[in-house]
Amino acid sequence: MKKFKFIPALLSIMLLAFLAVGCSKDSAGTGDKGGKKSGKINVGIVLPTKDEPRWVQDETRFKDALKDSDYSTEILFSQGSSAKEKENVETLISKGIEVLIIAPHDGPAAGAAVAAAKKEGIKVISYDRLITNTDAVDYYVTFDSVAVGEAQGQFLIDHAGDGKGIPLYLYAGAASDNNAFLFFEGAWKVLQPKIADGTFIIANSSEAEALKDKADLSRDELSKVLGQVTTNWDPNEAKNKAQTHLTAASGDLKGDVVILAPNDGTSRSIADVFGSDPDVSNYVITGQDAEKASIQYIIDGKQSMTVFKDVRTLVADAMGMAIDILDGNTPETTGSYDNGSIEVPAKQTNVIVVEQENVKSELIDSGYYEESDFTGL
Ligand code: BGC
List the domain boundaries for the chain: 13-143+311-349, 145-308
Q: Is the pLDDT of residue 31 over 80?
A: no
The pLDDT value recorded for residue 20 is 32
How many angstroms does the Cα of residue 304 sit away from the middle of ligand 1?
A: 18
How many whole angstroms separate alpha carbon 175 and alpha carbon 77? 20
Q: Is the pLDDT of residue 238 over 70?
A: yes
Q: Is the pLDDT of residue 11 over 60?
A: no
Closest residue to atom 12 of ligand 1, CA basis: 233
The pLDDT value recorded for residue 67 is 87
The pLDDT value recorded for residue 38 is 63
Question: What is the arithmetic mean of pLDDT over 300-306?
Answer: 98
Question: What is the arithmetic mean of pLDDT over 266-273?
Answer: 98
Return the best residue to mutate from 177, 267, 270 for the ligand 1 pocket (most ligand atoms within 8 A of CB). 177
The pLDDT value recorded for residue 39 is 73
Strand ranges, E, within 17-165: 43-47, 73-77, 99-102, 123-127, 139-143
Question: What is the arithmetic mean of pLDDT over 282-300?
Answer: 98
304-335: pLDDT as tens digits: 999 999 999 999 999 999 999 999 999 999 99
Q: Which of 21-30, 48-57, 201-210 is the least confident region?
A: 21-30
Q: How confident is the model at residue 83 (pLDDT cuts 50, 70, 90)?
A: very high
The pLDDT value recorded for residue 68 is 84
How many angstroms does the Cα of residue 52 sit away from the middle of ligand 1?
A: 9
Domain 145-308 has CATH 3.40.50.2300: yes
Q: Is the pLDDT of residue 202 over 50?
A: yes
Return the best residue to mutate from 128, 144, 352 for the ligand 1 pocket (most ligand atoms within 8 A of CB). 128
Contact 123, 92 (CB under 8 A): no
Q: How many helices (H) and strands (E) does the chain have?
A: 13, 13
CATH class held by domain 13-143+311-349: alpha beta
Q: Answer yes or no: same fold for 13-143+311-349 and 145-308.
A: yes
How many angstroms does the Cα of residue 174 sit away from the middle of ligand 1?
A: 9
* Residues forming beta bridges with residue 76, ordered by sequence position: 46
| pLDDT above 90: percentage of residues in the chain | 88
> Mean pLDDT across the chain, nearest whole number?
91
Residue among 305, 320, 312 nearest 358 (CA):
305
Q: What is the pTM of this model?
A: 0.90
Strand ranges, E, within the chain: 43-47, 73-77, 99-102, 123-127, 139-143, 166-170, 200-202, 255-260, 280-285, 306-308, 335-338, 343-349, 352-354
Question: What is the arithmetic mean of pLDDT over 69-74?
Answer: 92
Return the best residue to mutate from 46, 131, 185, 263 for the ligand 1 pocket (most ligand atoms within 8 A of CB). 263
